[in-house]
Structure 1
C-alpha cells in the first residue's frame, strides 16, 4: 500500500503542475540542465523545432540522457570525424523519427548497440545493426497509430514504419546519420511503404528496417522504381520546423510535371489506391508549380473558391498541364491510370546474412516475450498474452491490488488494443481504476464497453486521464446528461484554443496534454470533450468522420460539432450489379469502392456503414457533395477507374461495361510448363488451381499473403503454396483445398519463378493469370 500512497502523492504534484505549467519555463529548465552535460547546442536545436506537446513530455531521461548517450557513443566510433554539423543536427540527434510516442530508447539501448559495432567500419556497423533489429522483431500489420521503438522490441513485431523507426533509432544511437523514406501510396497496388535511408562515407543508401540485406538490395528495390514519388521528412529544416524532401532520384529517374493555373489554386496529384483517388502530392501554386514524379498516369485536380478542374495525365516524359478552375463538380467519367512495368534489378549482393543463426536468436528473444503461464482466469490470461513483453509489469500490478480492483482491472484492460497493452505504464493505473465508473441502468452493454470503459478515443497515444479530468470537471456533472454535455462542450469551446499544426512530426495530443496546454486542433478538442464526458460517466464518442462528437443520453445518441449546430444526415443505398445479378454483398468499402468529397483535393471519407445486406449497402453520411469511386487493375497494376456522382438516395452500379480480363495485357501472360515438377508434391491435374510462391523472410510476400488471405481461402479450386520456411501464418489457411510445401531456393528457380511473391492461376493446364511482386488486391484482379 505504501507504493499506492506514493502514487497518490505523485498525482497531487501533477495536479499542481497542470495549473502552473509554462512552456517557456520548461524550455529554460531543459536548456539549463543541458549545459551541465555540454550539449546545450543540441538541446537548443531540438527545443526550437519541437512541438509544445513534446516539450511538455521531455524530461531528464528521455531528453538530456538520450542526447548524452548519442554524444558519448559518437565520440568513440571511428566515423566520428565524418559527421559534419548538417548531418549531425538533421539526421543524428533528432529524438523523433515519425509520429511515435516520446521514449528513452537511446539511454536504454545505446550501450548495447555500441558494443555490437565498436570495432566495425561504418558499412559493417549498418549491416550488423540491421541484424540486431531483425533479431528483435518481425513484420506484422498492426493498428494504424505508430508504436515507438521500445514497444516494438517488447512486442516483437511491427508494420513497416515501426520497423523503420527502430532501425533508424538504432543507427542514430551510434552516430550513423539516418532518415525515413516513404512512398505515400503505391500506384500499382493498395497500401504504401516506409523504409530507412542511411549515410555512409558521403552517400545515401537504403535498407528495410529489420530486413537484413546488402545496401540498396531490398525486396522493394524493383517496386519502388514504379512508384509516384519517394519523400523523406527532415526534422528542424525549414520555416515549419521540418522539410519534406523529394528523394525520388535515389531510386529512379523522375520526369517533370508542370501545372499551371490561377494563383492560390490548390493542386493535387492522385493515384488509385484503396479503391479511391489518394493524393501523393498537394500544394498551393503561384502561377505554376513543378513536381518530379515517377512514370505513371495520374489524376490531377485543382480547386479554388469552390470551383474545380481535373486532368488525366500520362506522365511518361516531361509534361505541362493547365487547369481552369471553373467547374462546379466533376461529371461522371471513367479513365485508365497506367503504371510502369517491372524492371528487375539483378545487382549482385556481396553481403549474405546467416538467417539460420539469426532466426535462432530471434526465436529465443520472442520466447522471452510470451506469457506461457496460467493465472486461473482465462480473460486475464488473454490480456497477459496480448501484453507480450509487458506482461510481467501488468501481472505484478494485478498481484498487488485487492480482489475488487482485480475485477475492474480486467474489465478495463479487456478493451485495450494489444499495442496499447504492450505500451502501458502501470505507474498511474491505480487512480485511473478508482475513477472508472461503468454501472448504468438501461444502457446496452456494448455502448458501455465501447464508449465508456474504453480508454482510447481515436489514434492518440494511450493515456490515463479520468482521475484528473473527473476532479477538474466534477462540478459540471448534472442529473441531466444534456446539461452536463453542454457545460463541458462550452468550456472546451471557450478555454481550449483552436490551433492546428501541419508539422510532420506532430502526434495527436492526449486529452490531458490538450487540457494542460490549453490549445489543440478541432480533433484534439473533440477528443478532450469525449474524455471529460467518459470521466463523468457519460458514454461518448467521435463521429465516423471525426468532425463531430456524440454522447449517449436518455433519448439515445446526440451529436454536436464546433461552429455547427445542425446535424443533418442522409442515407445512401449502393447496389452493385454484374451480368444482371445483384452482387452487393460481395463488395467492401476501400477494397471495391470508396466515397470521396472533392474539397481542396480528393478526400476519401470514412462513412458509417449502417447496413451491408445481400441486395444493398446502406451508408450514412452528412449532407454534402460526394462521389463514388470504384475500379480494378490489370496484371501489372494499371487501373480502370470509374467516378460517379452520388445523386439521390439510391445508386446503381453496373459492372458489365468492361470485363476484368479485357484490361489484362495478354502479351505479358506467361505459360507455366512445369507440371511435371509439381507432380512430386501432389497431383495437380485438377480443373482449376492457384500456385503461390513465397519468400517469408521479406515483407513483400508476407503482406501479399496476409492482406489477401480471405480471398485466397475463398478461391474455388485447389491452392498450392510453396515457401522457403514453415510459419504459423499457415494456420490461417487450415482448409482442405490448400496445401503448403516447404522448398528450397533452387526448387523455386526450377519452376521459372524469379520474383517473389509469384501467383499463378491455371485451368486445364492453361495459364490464365500470372503476377509477380507485391500485390494487395488480388480480389479485383482474379475473376471468372
Structure 2
C-alpha cells in the first residue's frame, strides 16, 4: 500500500513538473500560441521538427514564445535543438542562481531568455559564459554581480571602432576588441547567461555631436541600472556618457517579443517592442502630431520619421505610424528634430522643438515633382543636465587597480597575435597584412594561405574582398567554399550580412542544368527568384538576413534577404552581381554595363542617369567639404529619404568622399528627386543646417550650389587660464608657458582607455596636416603616470599626432581644477577637456567629453586666430 502511494506521489510530482507553465498568464499564453502557429505556417513546419528531443511543457512554451517572435533567419539558420538547448540552460540558471526567484516572469521572458541582443550571429556563448561566471559571482548581491560581470567583460574586450556589422559575443572575445554595439551585445549576453535581466540601450544618434552609442541596462532588486559595457566603474549609473546622455533626444531598447511593460512604446512589431527610455537619462517632453492630406483630412497609417541631425544627414532615429485619426506622439529630449511624414509617395516635414511645441500638424503637401523651397535650419540640442553618482577616492583607486590588472590579462592574450616583427621572415610576404589583421583568427587565415600556396593569387584575391572584421571571424569552411568553387567571383560578402554557411559549390550543383542559360541571360535568374522565393508578408519584420542556403530551403525571406540570395546565386554561377553600396541597388553585369534588378517589373534594364556638379568656393577654413561631415545627398523614394552612401573605409561612419574628389567635376546619379543637406556643427553642439531639393534628369547635368553655412562672428574670449600652471614632464615640474612659448596653444587633459578620448585623438590625427601648418604646440596631459604608460603602450592605435606635441602629467589635478573653475564646468571629471588659450591667459575654445570632429573644430578656430 505504501509503495503504491509512493508511486502515485512520484507520478503526481512528475505530472506537475511536466505541466508547469513558462507563461502563467492564460490570455498571454494563448496569444503567444496563436502567434507561434502563424509564424510556423509562414515559415514551414519542417523547421519545428526535432529528432529525439522531448521538451517539458515549460520548455515547449518557452520555445514557442521564442519562435513566435524571432526573425525568420533565426528559425531557418539555427536548429530547434540549438534553441532548445539555450532554453534549458536559461531555465537551469533561473533555478540555480540565488536571484532566480527574484526576477519577475515578465523580465525573465523578455530580457533573460532570448539569445538575440541586436543583429549579431547567434552562438554558444550562454552555456560557456554561465560555466565561467557562475563561481565568479557566487555570494554576491545582484548589483555587485553586475559590476563583477562587467569587470570580466573588460578582461576580454576593449573598445575599437569598426564597421557596422555586429560580431557575436564569442567572436568579440576572440579578437579582444569591439565597437560599442559589440561590447554591449557581449555584456548583455554575459549577464543573461547568469540569469540577470539585461538589455542593450542605444541612442540612435547623438544630438550634440556626430556618431551614436550603445550601452547596457541591467535589473537588480526591482530597479534598472545603466553602465558602460566593458568599461567598469566602481558604482552603477556611472559612465563617461552620463553628460552626453543627458543631452540626447532619444534612448531606445528593443524588448524581444510582445512586451507589456511600463515604459512608453514607440513601435510594436511581430518581432520586438521598441520602448523609449529617454526619461531615465535627461529631461524629456511630449509632442502630439497629426498628419493630414491636401484636403485637411487625417491620414491613417502614415509613416512618421523622427530625424536627428548627425553626420550631415537628418537620420531617422525612430519611426511611428498614425492611427485612424492621423495621430501619433513622441516623448524626446528638449531639443530640435525634423519630423518627416509620408504615405503613398507624398510627404511633408517640419522642425519640431520638444519642450516648446505641444501639438504639431504635418500636411503631406509634397511629392517628387513638387518639393519644398530651400531653407536654413538652426538645430539646437538639449542642454546638459547630468546626474553623477558619488564615488570615493578609495573606490576609484581600487577600480583603477583592477582595470590595470584586466588590461594586462587582455593584452597578454593580444600579445599572442602575429605582428610585422614576428612575421618579417614569413615565406608568403603578400599574405602578412591579412594574417596580422585577422587577430585571434590568424591561424585560420595563415592555414588557408599555406594550404593554397600553389594558387596564391586566387587565395589573395579572395582575402582582398574581405573587411578587417571578416578576416577576424571568417571560418575555414567559408574560405574553402569560395576558393574551390568553379566561379571566379570569389567574394563571399554582398553587404553587411552574416556569413554562416558555405553556399557557392552548393548552388553550382543545384543550378547545374540552368547555369549556362542564366549566364547567357541573367534576367532569367531574376525570373526564377521571382517565381520561387516568396516574401515575408510581414513588411515591418526585423530584417536579419538569412543565409542563402536557408532561403533556398525555406523559399521565404524579406526583400533584403532576397537581394543577398540573388547575388550569392549569381556569383556561384559565375555571373558578376552586386548590391551597390552607394545606392543599395541590386545589379548584375551584362557586357560592360550594370543592369538594375527590379523584381516588380518584367524587363530588367540599366537605370537612366544624369550628372550632378556641386559648385563651391573654398575658404581658408573649409577648402574641401567632406561627405558625412559637411553634406549628404538623399534620394526621395516614394516620399521617403534614401541616403546615398558615398562613404569609404571601414569605420562606423564617415569616409573619404569629398566635394573635390567626387562632386566638383560631377558625380553620376540615377534620375529622380534628391535632397541635399549641409551643416556646420558649432562647439556648443548646435548646427547651422541648410536643405535644398534638386532633380536629376536623364542625360543632363544638374549644377547645384553647395551652401555650407559659416559662423559670421569672429573668435570670442570665453574665459581665462593661467599658462604659468605647473605640470610634470620627464620627472620635473615645468610651467606650461615654458613649453609652449608665447602665443596660442592647444591644451588637452586625457582620460586614457575611455571612448571619448580615443575619438578625440583619432580626430586630431586626421587634421595633423592643417594643425601642423598652423604651427602652434599641443600640450597633452595625463592624470597620472599609469595613464601615461597606458598611452605609450597604445599610441600606435591613434595615428600620427602633431609634430609639436608635448606630453606631461597633471599630477595634482591643478590644471583640471582651474579649467573647471574658470570655465564653470559642472563635472571636472568628465574627460577629455581641450582648450585653445594664449599666454595672455585668454581661452577662446573649450570642448569637454564626447565630441566627434574635434580636429575639425580646432582647425576652424585656429584658422581665425
Q: TM-score, normalised by structure 1?
A: 0.88
Tell me the residue number matched to 1:691: 747
Tell me the residue number matched to 1:466: 504
Q: Is contact 2:613-2:663 (8 Å) kept?
A: no
Tell me the residue number matched to 1:342: 384
Q: Does 1:116 align with 2:136?
A: yes
- For 1:751 and 1:758, the matched residues in 2 are separated by 12
C-alpha deviation, 1:656, in angstroms? 8.0
Match of 1:722 among 774, 781, 787: 781
C-alpha deviation, 1:773, in angstroms? 1.7
Q: Which region of structure 1 is more displaced relative to structure 2, 380-389 or 206-215?
A: 380-389
* SS of aligned partner of 2:767: helix
Tell me the residue number matched to 2:836: 761
C-alpha deviation, 1:558, in angstroms? 3.5
Tell me the residue number matched to 1:251: 281
C-alpha deviation, 1:415, in angstroms? 2.5
Residue by residue over 1:90-119, the C-alpha shift from the partner in whole angstroms, topping out at 9 and shown as x without a partner, is: 110101001101111112222001121122
C-alpha deviation, 1:337, in angstroms? 1.0
* SS of aligned partner of 1:206: strand
* SS of aligned partner of 1:280: strand
Pair 577,322 (structure 1): closer, same or farther in 2 beyond 3 Å: same
Q: Does 1:272 align with 2:309?
A: yes
Pair 61,419 (structure 1): closer, same or farther in 2 beyond 3 Å: farther
Which residues of 2 match residues 566-577 of structure 1 at below 5 A? 566=605, 567-577=607-617
Which residues of 2 match residues 295-310 of structure 1 at below 5 A? 295-310=334-349
Pair 650,67 (structure 1): closer, same or farther in 2 beyond 3 Å: same
Tell me the residue number matched to 1:212: 232
C-alpha deviation, 1:64, in angstroms? 3.0
Q: Is contact 2:282-2:386 (8 Å) kept?
A: no
Pair 728,554 (structure 1): closer, same or farther in 2 beyond 3 Å: same
What is the number of residues matched between the two proteins? 743
Which segments of 5 or more consecutive residues in structure 1 lack a partner in the other structure?
1-20, 439-451
Residue by residue over 1:17-47, the C-alpha shift from the partner in whole angstroms, topping out at 9 and shown as x without a partner, is: xxxx9841221328x7261696333222212
* SS of aligned partner of 2:666: strand
Tell me the residue number matched to 1:294: 333
Which residues of 2 match residues 371-450 of structure 1 at below 5 A? 372=422, 375-396=426-447, 401=451, 403-404=453-454, 408-427=458-477, 429-438=479-488
Match of 1:224 among 245, 259, 263: 245
Q: Is contact 1:101-1:147 (8 Å) kept?
A: yes
Q: Which region of structure 1 is more displaced relative to structure 2, 718-727 or 135-144?
A: 718-727
Pair 318,569 (structure 1): closer, same or farther in 2 beyond 3 Å: closer
Q: Is contact 1:267-1:601 (8 Å) kept?
A: no
Q: Does 1:595 align with 2:633?
A: yes
Tell me the residue number matched to 2:146: 126
Pair 314,380 (structure 1): closer, same or farther in 2 beyond 3 Å: same
* SS of aligned partner of 2:526: helix
Pair 503,625 (structure 1): closer, same or farther in 2 beyond 3 Å: closer
Pair 563,506 (structure 1): closer, same or farther in 2 beyond 3 Å: closer
Tell me the residue number matched to 2:694: 646
Pair 35,694 (structure 1): closer, same or farther in 2 beyond 3 Å: same
Residue by residue over 1:737-772, the C-alpha shift from the partner in whole angstroms, topping out at 9 and shown as x without a partner, is: 333445557355345252312222235643221121
- For 2:452 and 2:306, the matched residues in 1 are separated by 58
Pair 421,61 (structure 1): closer, same or farther in 2 beyond 3 Å: farther
Pair 730,512 (structure 1): closer, same or farther in 2 beyond 3 Å: closer
Pair 644,397 (structure 1): closer, same or farther in 2 beyond 3 Å: closer
Q: Is contact 1:386-1:418 (8 Å) kept?
A: yes
Residue by residue over 1:516-570, the C-alpha shift from the partner in whole angstroms, topping out at 9 and shown as x without a partner, is: 2212333322222222222122322112455533333433434333235451112
Match of 1:733 among 800, 803, 809: 800
- For 1:615 and 1:555, the matched residues in 2 are separated by 24
Pair 465,781 (structure 1): closer, same or farther in 2 beyond 3 Å: same
Q: Is contact 1:628-1:645 (8 Å) kept?
A: yes
C-alpha deviation, 1:326, in angstroms? 2.4
Q: Does 1:516 align with 2:553?
A: yes
- For 1:34 and 1:89, the matched residues in 2 are separated by 21
Q: Is contact 1:607-1:620 (8 Å) kept?
A: no
Q: Is contact 2:625-2:659 (8 Å) kept?
A: no
- For 1:560 and 1:179, the matched residues in 2 are separated by 39
Residue by residue over 1:476-528, the C-alpha shift from the partner in whole angstroms, topping out at 9 and shown as x without a partner, is: 333894x2412222211221113375667542223323222212333322222
C-alpha deviation, 1:776, in angstroms? 0.8
Tell me the residue number matched to 2:209: 189
Residue by residue over 1:169-217, the C-alpha shift from the partner in whole angstroms, topping out at 9 and shown as x without a partner, is: 1001110000111111111111111111100000001011101012101
Tell me the residue number matched to 1:673: 722
Q: TM-score, normalised by structure 2?
A: 0.80
C-alpha deviation, 1:634, in angstroms? 1.9
- For 2:665 and 2:209, the matched residues in 1 are separated by 25
Q: Is contact 1:489-1:529 (8 Å) kept?
A: yes
- For 1:544 and 1:60, the matched residues in 2 are separated by 34
**CA-atom RMSD in angstroms:** 3.0
Q: Which region of structure 1 is more displaced relative to structure 2, 104-113 or 365-374?
A: 365-374
Pair 547,140 (structure 1): closer, same or farther in 2 beyond 3 Å: closer
Tell me the residue number matched to 1:770: 846
- For 1:619 and 1:582, the matched residues in 2 are separated by 24
Q: Is contact 1:23-1:55 (8 Å) kept?
A: no
Q: Is contact 2:615-2:664 (8 Å) kept?
A: yes
Pair 713,37 (structure 1): closer, same or farther in 2 beyond 3 Å: farther
* SS of aligned partner of 1:595: strand
- For 1:722 and 1:504, the matched residues in 2 are separated by 49
C-alpha deviation, 1:61, in angstroms? 6.9
Q: Is contact 1:268-1:601 (8 Å) kept?
A: no
* SS of aligned partner of 1:770: strand
Q: Does 1:330 align with 2:372?
A: yes
- For 2:582 and 2:374, the matched residues in 1 are separated by 25
Match of 1:616 among 646, 650, 664: 664
